[in-house]
Structure 1
Amino acid sequence: MPISSPSLAQLPIRRLTSEDLLACADLAENRGWQREEHKWGLLLTAGTGYGIDDPSGTGLTACSVVTSYGPGLSAIGMVLVAERYARQGVGRRLMEHVIEEAGETPLTLYATANGQPLYEQLGFTQTSRSEMVLGRFTFTTPAPAVPVRPATAEDLQAILRLDHEVFGLDRTPMITRLPAFADHLRVAEVDGEITGFAAAWPNMDTHVVGPLIARDPATAQALIASLAAATDRPLRTDIDVRHTSLLGWAKENGIDTIATTSVMVRSLPDLPGDWRRRFAPLTVAAG
């Protein structure tokens, strides 16, 4: 049963640190999400966390994380409210605080069906949709013969240039964390030019493929197949629904849709960059 408390609106919102990682994971678990401690570690160090402490003195009432890509865009993710405080305006208050902190910076987020009405009331509009797909890759339908290899330290500058071009903004602080954060990082290379890259990072009992940047669907398929061959875990990723050929190929190989989300923006007509070469985010929490 929801807790009615006149003091909820007065509870202070504070910045979270890496020391709040377990409290964030506990809150996620409270709402039926996986704990995802590895991902929380990245988000709380690369981004800015906001939280409301539980008035009972234990854990968090609510939290969210904002990943900044400069004045051009910030991504909001992991918006969570404890079950006992749900539907009492706590989530709205936290979001209004995050929006105020962002100032003139445009915002983006991936919204579930439950969260989308609130975000629309706060000025967000839908620009596309994404399918979360999950499964054990079967290699039933082979990927095109695009050369793919493990990334090396010498590839980093080329990866950063390609990512900036496709994402539309500089996300060097996030991309440079990939070699340590991910278990596998692959590049596609044709005639000495890197035409795509993708990482697979550990998340509970799966490997999440993201980011996935590629010149075309064939290159994206080759990168996913290479990552699938490197792990015995199920693969999970989030693919823009406009990439119908990639989604179809993934499903032919046992990676099926388990959820859909709406990609939303605020103070922008659409996301920057080139969606035709942006196949999957690093994580929906960070864009």
Structure 2
Amino acid sequence: MPSSHAPLDQLPIRRLTTEDVLACADLSEDRGWQREEYKWGLLLAAGVGYGIDDPSGKGLVTACVVTSYGPGLAAIGMVLVSARYARQGIGRRLMRHVLAEAGDTPLTLYATSNGRPLYEELGFTDIGRAEMLRGHFTLTEPAPALPVRPATAEDLPAVLRLDQEIFGVDRTAMIARLPAFADQLRVAEQDGEITGFAAIWPNMDTHVIGPLIARDTATAQALVASLAAASDRPLRTDVDDRHGALTTWLKANGLEQIATTTVMVRSLPELPGDWRRRFAPLTVAAG
């Protein structure tokens, strides 16, 4: 049991900063997740973190990050509660605070099976699934021979326009960080028009592919193959399960399902944008 002199419902909730990366990573590790310090750094820099400190000085009791895309959408991610405070309502309290802070802004998140009942209680509804895949990419089944190249600084305005069209809201603050955050950022191009883009970024012992935005499955495959050729690590990505052709191709090339998550929304019937061209998120924590 926690050694606290104050009731859990009176422990103060505070904003987290990039100085809290190690504390957040410790909390991840406490719950059996990977530390993911690099990802925590991005999320705390681009979004707003919330947390409650353990009054005994043993790090964070609970934490989460909200990534805002303006009044049309915000994403909640990395919702964690320390094992020693589990099932005592502290996660529910933090989430209620986040909902109050969000006001009328529609929200989205990717829920694990453990978290889904709480989110349903808080008014979130299920709109889909995502399949987390991991493995060494083999290229046993080749990708279509479509033109893919490294992105340049001159491509950024077109990438941002395409992303807003497909994602449905403006996430410039996140996408503009990709050239510095990712190990590789590549674009697909046809007749002088950018038809898709994707990044690969380091996360512990893997390379994560995300976001993956593409005109069609063939373009998505070409982007993945191009990024995979630049990596000697296992790949990981989260694919919308409506993109069965891409998932089948990835599995044929060495990736395996390691988890599934439920895509949920609140105050919104469906996510904005065009899911047909949105294959994988940058990270499920950012929507």
TM superposition score normalised by structure 1: 0.98
Indicate the residue corresponding to 1:218 in structure 2.
Answer: 218
Indicate the residue corresponding to 2:8 in structure 1.
Answer: 8
How large is the Cα RMSD of the aligned pairs? 0.9
The letter of the residue matching 1:103 is G
Indicate the residue corresponding to 1:28 in structure 2.
Answer: 28
CA separation in 1, counterparts of 2:18 and 2:162?
A: 30
CA separation in 2, counterparts of 1:165 and 1:47?
A: 21
1:214-266 CA distance string (max 9 Å, x none): 00000000000000000101100000000000000000000110000000000
Q: CA deviation at 1:132?
A: 0.3
Q: CA deviation at 1:58?
A: 2.4
- The alignment status of 1:142 with 2:142, answered yes or no, reads yes
Indicate the residue corresponding to 1:129 in structure 2.
Answer: 129
Instruction: Mark the runs of 5 or more structure 2 residues left unpaired by the alignment.
Output: none
Indicate the residue corresponding to 1:233 in structure 2.
Answer: 233
Q: CA deviation at 1:55?
A: 1.4
CA separation in 1, counterparts of 2:3 and 2:253?
A: 49
- The alignment status of 1:45 with 2:45, answered yes or no, reads yes
The letter of the residue matching 1:179 is P
CA separation in 1, counterparts of 2:170 and 2:74?
A: 12
Indicate the residue corresponding to 1:104 in structure 2.
Answer: 104
The letter of the residue matching 2:25 is A
Q: CA deviation at 1:4?
A: 8.0
The letter of the residue matching 2:246 is L
Indicate the residue corresponding to 2:188 in structure 1.
Answer: 188
Instruction: Mark the runs of 5 or more structure 1 residues left unpaired by the alignment.
Output: none
Indicate the residue corresponding to 1:270 in structure 2.
Answer: 270
The letter of the residue matching 2:166 is V
CA separation in 2, counterparts of 1:164 and 1:35?
A: 31
What percentage of aligned pairs have identical amino acids? Answer: 77
CA separation in 1, counterparts of 2:202 and 2:2?
A: 36
Q: Could you tell me whether the CA contact under 8 Å between 2:66 and 2:286 is conserved in 1? A: yes
- The alignment status of 1:151 with 2:156, answered yes or no, reads no
Indicate the residue corresponding to 2:87 in structure 1.
Answer: 87
Q: CA deviation at 1:3?
A: 3.7
1:260-287 CA distance string (max 9 Å, x none): 0000000000100000000000000001
The letter of the residue matching 1:20 is D
Q: Could you tell me whether the CA contact under 8 Å between 2:13 and 2:50 is conserved in 1? A: yes
Paired residue total: 286
CA separation in 2, counterparts of 1:279 and 1:56?
A: 44
Question: Aligned to 2:14, what secondary structure does the other structure show?
Answer: strand
Q: CA deviation at 1:145?
A: 1.1
Question: Aligned to 1:222, what secondary structure does the other structure show?
Answer: helix
Indicate the residue corresponding to 2:71 in structure 1.
Answer: 71
CA separation in 2, counterparts of 1:103 and 1:211?
A: 27
Q: 1:4 to 1:124 in 2, by over 3 A?
A: farther
Name segments (4+ residues, structure 1) moved above 2 Å.
2-6
1:108-157 CA distance string (max 9 Å, x none): 00000000000000000010000000000001000011110110101000
Question: Aligned to 1:285, what secondary structure does the other structure show?
Answer: helix
- The alignment status of 1:56 with 2:56, answered yes or no, reads yes
Question: Aligned to 2:42, what secondary structure does the other structure show?
Answer: helix
CA separation in 1, counterparts of 2:45 and 2:58?
A: 23
Q: CA deviation at 1:16?
A: 0.3
Q: Could you tell me whether the CA contact under 8 Å between 2:206 and 2:235 is conserved in 1? A: yes
The letter of the residue matching 2:164 is H
- Superposition pairs for residues 193-212 of structure 1, below 5 Å? 193-212=193-212
The letter of the residue matching 1:22 is L
Question: Aligned to 2:120, what secondary structure does the other structure show?
Answer: helix
CA separation in 2, counterparts of 1:233 and 1:165?
A: 32
CA separation in 2, counterparts of 1:168 and 1:145?
A: 29
1:151-199 CA distance string (max 9 Å, x none): 0101000100000000000000100000000000010001110000000
The letter of the residue matching 1:247 is T
Q: Could you tell me whether the CA contact under 8 Å between 2:28 and 2:80 is conserved in 1? A: yes
CA separation in 2, counterparts of 1:258 and 1:23?
A: 26
Q: CA deviation at 1:57?
A: 1.5
